[in-house]
Homo-oligomer: A and B are copies of this chain.
Amino acid sequence: MAQQDVQNGEGGKVAPAVEIKAVLTQLVVPKADDAVKFYKAAFGAVELERSTHPKRKAEQERPLILSAQLKLGSSTFLVSDNTEDSGEPVNVVGSGAIALWLETHDIGAAVAKAVLAGAVSEGEITTGVFSDPEQPVGKVRDPFGFLWFFTSPVAKKAAAESEAPVTV
What are the residues of chain B within 8 A of A106 when measuring CB–CB?
1, 16, 18-19
Q: Which of A46, A89, A142 has the most CB of B within 10 A?
A: A89
The answer to whether residues A51 and B159 also contact, given A8-B116, A18-B44, A24-B100 and a CB cut-off of 8 A, is yes
Instruction: Name the B residues within 8 Å of A90 (CB-CB).
Output: 97-99, 147
Known A96-B144, A131-B54, A153-B21; judge A168-B43 contact (CB<8 A).
no
Q: From residue 80 to 130 of chain A, which have CB atoms closer than 8 A to chain B? A: 82, 86-106, 109-110, 112-113, 116-117, 122, 126, 128-130
Whether B66 pairs with A20 at a CB distance below 8 angstroms is: no
Contact status of A105 and B19, CB under 8 A, knowing A86-B129, A99-B90: yes
A168 contacts across to B, CB distance below 8 A = 40, 46-47
A78: which of B41, B101, B133 is its contact (CB, 8 Å)? B101
- Structural contact, B18 and A110, CB atoms closer than 8 A: yes
Whether the Cβ atoms of A22 and B72 lie closer than 8 Å is yes
A97-B79 Cα distance, complex, nearest whole Å:
10
Inter-chain contact A100/B67, CB cutoff 8 Å: no
6 contacts between A and B (CB under 8 A): A19-B73, A20-B102, A22-B103, A28-B99, A29-B96, A93-B145
